[in-house]
Structure 1
């Protein structure tokens, strides 16, 4: 792995985000932790995220002077591109942080941050189901069979290098790229606890959801739970 970041690989950990943050605090370099499974993984809103064998559990920790309000949405796009480039699988996106394959969730993203000495420590957690054992029938995956360690390492390296260049996605057309990967453009959605349904019109350049009301007005929303009609 490149020397511009520290790299740790485990068969099993409690949480890659927790281990990654701990290792990062021992060094000044960005840190990556990868595990085949987690025993105490978590998702957004403190939800449990189980990680059986056959999953990539990945975390990256680094310092930044600020945090991009659309960081989670941008990471989804970066991950989808890396999956296609290495595995040739077209993983689509569900706003704000789900990875979708064949209309089923196969992964997700969790971004955590904390302030330290006028800087922000950002920890990015990404979980992707590559090829889950059939006994875990409740899980979905992207159907990779006999994946080699070399290929997996290539994916981890590409993903990391892309994530370390997040600022490059400040260009205005990144939101159009995200829209092209979104699996629910123009579909009816429900947001959080709201009873009203909307048409999903895409995202802004800051990652906000553009939702059209029945009146035709467009409302902008920051990260929230989104339910898509007909999808899990």
Structure 2
């Protein structure tokens, strides 16, 4: 259940435009993107030789949790297809040796959700704010593994709720217990990364001992190789 395009503006935009006519669980994959984007409007490179795909989710409930569903599924798929063990950085980045290997972007299409996933397979851009690295392997094999793992974790989310997804995310999380900086746009917070709330919020222990939940922001490490990652 997927559409394969040689070139598209962005897989998210294509799926958003076709969401009303496609069934739940439909994927679109492209060889090239001419108008790809990441979180907060960042440009996503052409990507030829890398994986660029999006999946349509028509589900009820706290669908924002699919940010974590997708991250956990992608981690399993990369391990299976590429032989690379990654770590997870809040909310949904995957890191290898501290460098970013993928991006995940959630967007709404009416009552549906589009989950966009990009993975550096054949190469990684070198002009980004944060270091990036490629995982190697076959785009086709990785895509097939991702579709399977996503269906598995989506099924668990539907049957068991967020708890197993949260547990799997925490087991692979980078930098729990380390000092981090969280940039919220209007303010910057520093503290200890305590873990993940029951709703997916980052739990930040402040200097006065209070634990503050953070639902959106940019996370940066403050020293130490096991910190949250840049």
Under a length normalisation based on structure 1, what TM-score does the superposition of the two structures give? 0.83
Given the alignment, which residue of 97, 101, 104 partners 2:92?
Answer: 97
Q: Could you say which residue in structure 1 is the equivalent of 2:29?
A: 34
Match runs of 1:47-196 below 5 Å: 47-115=42-110, 120-132=111-123, 136-138=125-127, 140-145=132-137, 147=138, 149=140, 151-162=141-152, 164-165=154-155, 166-168=157-159, 170=161, 172-192=163-183, 193=185, 194-196=187-189
Given the alignment, which residue of 8, 16, 41 partners 2:11?
Answer: 16
1:17–1:91 distance in 2 versus 1, CA, 3 Å = same
Under a length normalisation based on structure 2, what TM-score does the superposition of the two structures give? 0.84
Contact 2:56 2:115 in 1 (8 A): yes
1:198–1:168 distance in 2 versus 1, CA, 3 Å = farther
Q: Could you say which residue in structure 1 is the equivalent of 2:203?
A: 210
Number of matched pairs: 219
Aligned with 1:61: secondary structure? strand
Contact 1:51 1:57 in 2 (8 A): no
C-alpha distance in 2, partners of 1:187/1:43? 26
Unpaired runs of at least 5, structure 1: 1-5
- Does 2:219 align with 1:229? no
Contact 2:205 2:211 in 1 (8 A): yes
1:99–1:168 distance in 2 versus 1, CA, 3 Å = farther
C-alpha distance in 2, partners of 1:215/1:21? 44
Aligned with 1:198: secondary structure? strand
1:51–1:220 distance in 2 versus 1, CA, 3 Å = same
1:91–1:142 distance in 2 versus 1, CA, 3 Å = farther
Residue 43 of structure 1 and its aligned partner are, at CA, apart by 1.4
Aligned with 1:185: secondary structure? coil
Provide the alpha-carbon RMSD of the alignment.
2.3
Q: Could you say which residue in structure 2 is the equivalent of 1:3?
A: none
C-alpha distance in 2, partners of 1:44/1:164? 22
Aligned with 1:21: secondary structure? helix
Residue 104 of structure 1 and its aligned partner are, at CA, apart by 0.6
Residue 32 of structure 1 and its aligned partner are, at CA, apart by 0.5
